[in-house]
Structure 1
Amino acid sequence: MSRERRLVEAFVQLADSLVEEYDPVDVVQELLDRAVDLLPVDTAAVLLAGEDGELKVLASTSEATRWLELLQIQAQDGPCVQSYRDSEQVIVEDLEEARDRWPAFAKQALLEGFQSVYALPLRLRADRVGALNLFSTGEGNMTEDDLLVGQALADIASIAILQARLLAGHRTVNGQLQSALQSRVVIEQAKGILAAHGDLDPETAFDALRGYARNTRGRLPDLARAVVDRTIDVSKILDRRP
């Protein structure tokens, strides 16, 4: 399927998800999957700002990316944090050249194998929501068209979050965020179980868990809970690894 066709399908599906009642966390996770598929990047994550402006990791496509986001939140510095603060795109095409600007982040990102990062603001007019962050293991090769697609995806995420806040109130959305963060704990537990059973490293265990959820059209938190509660045979997940 051509990239143009995949792009159309992505926007149609994401738009459809905003018509009826939806979970913004699920929409953002789907958006991240689409971003990795459509753009020349390897992983993606979204930072979301709470009512107090404090940033949290809402969703990510890999544990390495999630760790890098947490590192930036802790340091209160980095391209993704800066994109949120300035409400502007931050483009780092070669992380080697960012060692002086963001020493801790650049060092860890390079150790994780990344060479470039693109941070795109989640915003709608005066409302700052967070940032969509795209990581690549190669030096930056995003075209202007790629950046337009990336920003369009970021705009959809902004609309999904702001619309949910408008319809349900901040308390409900914050509750969903808290639920997502609590789900992360369960996912970590499930990842550990899979790693132990399959003699896998944590990243491979997470990929297996996420891949099974996607292939069976299930939700990652629900599958993780099933693994932890022993209501699913973990060999089913391990056997379906690519």
Structure 2
Amino acid sequence: MTGMARERRMAEIFVEVADSLVEDFDVIDLLHRLSERCVELLDVSAAGILLANAQGELRIIAASDERTRLLELFALQHDQGPCVECYRTGAARTNIELTRPEPADGRPHFAARARETGYVNTHALPLRLRSRVIGALNLFQTAPHRLGDDDIALAQALADVATIAVLQQRTLEQSQVENSQLEAALTSRVLVEQAKGVLAERWNTSVDDAFAAFRSYARARHLRLSELAARIVSGDFDTADIPVPATVSPEDRRG
């Protein structure tokens, strides 16, 4: 992407996000889109957004894709990894070379898993509003190319947008409201994970394909992902209404 095309795309993305920040917007879907935009705009292969729960433990809330190994890598950071350090200190951790022995100190399992998954560099940017940090944006690269200052600044801007989306532009003084919003977002993610599993099992397909079909159906009908997921998990929705992914053959479909 040329410099001018990239700047134009950046403007379009920030307008897209601003248009999404309306009353009663779907925060889970917006965070997934922000993760995908990180991969589109930055020289990275994967992105994920992690939020801290009431106990201060990081949990994955959205990712640029839903590959199981990638999600496991994000999930591993509840107790170790750059995102944990970023969340605890409020400072960005960028251009960490996972192939060097140094990063293994204090996070051996994370570094080893990242290398196994094919990543050589990682970055963590804080989700921060004023002095409060609520999570982190995690970026991974499969090529040994350092992100420059401009890319890091853009990544932080996207992380700031994610923060605003989660807090729904509330002030940090409203701590009870803020904690409620964080817990609601994390609960929504759990419901979406369960619905993905139901659909993947029912269609005998990958969770990636199941999530894509689920998300496409919800968007087309202006449904919140969490609300549709809750109906699927409770059995209060006929999943036959969702178009089966083209990758699933009729004989593989399960009733």
Residue 182 of structure 1 corresponds to: 187
Alignment length (residue pairs): 239
Residue 231 of structure 1 corresponds to: 238
Q: Does 1:117 align with 2:122?
A: yes
- Offset at residue 20 of structure 1 (A): 4.5
* Ranges in structure 2 where 5+ consecutive residues have no aligned partner: 249-255
Map 1:38-117 → 2, pairs under 5 A: 38-50=41-53, 53-61=56-64, 62=66, 63-73=68-78, 76-97=79-100, 98-117=103-122
Q: 1:208 to 1:138 in 2, by over 3 A?
A: farther
3-state SS of the aligned residue for 1:236?
A: coil
Q: What is the identity, as a one-letter code, of the residue corresponding to 2:246?
A: D
Q: Does 1:8 align with 2:15?
A: no
| RMSD, aligned α-carbons | 3.3
Larger radius of gyration: 2
Question: What is the CA deviation profile of residues 148-182 of structure 1, one whole-angstrom value per residue up to 9, with x for unaligned ones?
Answer: 21111112223334454429944444334333333
Higher share in helix:
1
TM-score (norm 2): 0.75
- Is residue 91–residue 119 contact of structure 1 (8 Å, CA) maintained in 2? yes
Residue 130 of structure 1 corresponds to: 135
Corresponding residue to 1:159 among 148, 155, 164:
164
- Offset at residue 89 of structure 1 (A): 1.6
* Ranges in structure 1 where 5+ consecutive residues have no aligned partner: none
Question: What is the CA deviation profile of residues 125-156 of structure 1, one whole-angstrom value per residue up to 9, with x for unaligned ones?
Answer: 32222211112333344333221211111122
CA distance in 2, matches of 1:126, 1:141: 28
Q: 1:107 to 1:205 in 2, by over 3 A?
A: farther
Q: 1:64 to 1:83 in 2, by over 3 A?
A: same
- Offset at residue 82 of structure 1 (A): 0.8
Q: Does 1:150 align with 2:143?
A: no
Greater shift in the superposed pair: 35-44 or 23-32:
23-32
Residue 200 of structure 1 corresponds to: 205
CA distance in 2, matches of 1:166, 1:137: 38
Q: 1:54 to 1:172 in 2, by over 3 A?
A: same
Q: What is the identity, as a one-letter code, of the residue corresponding to 2:85?
A: Q
- Is residue 114–residue 135 contact of structure 1 (8 Å, CA) maintained in 2? yes
- Is residue 36–residue 43 contact of structure 1 (8 Å, CA) maintained in 2? yes
Residue 251 of structure 2 corresponds to: none
- Is residue 83–residue 90 contact of structure 1 (8 Å, CA) maintained in 2? yes
- Is residue 172–residue 178 contact of structure 2 (8 Å, CA) maintained in 1? no
Q: 1:48 to 1:181 in 2, by over 3 A?
A: closer
- Is residue 132–residue 154 contact of structure 1 (8 Å, CA) maintained in 2? yes
Q: Does 1:28 align with 2:31?
A: yes
- Is residue 226–residue 232 contact of structure 1 (8 Å, CA) maintained in 2? no
Residue 252 of structure 2 corresponds to: none
Question: What is the CA deviation profile of residues 59-91 of structure 1, one whole-angstrom value per residue up to 9, with x for unaligned ones?
Answer: 333344432232121xx2211111112222212
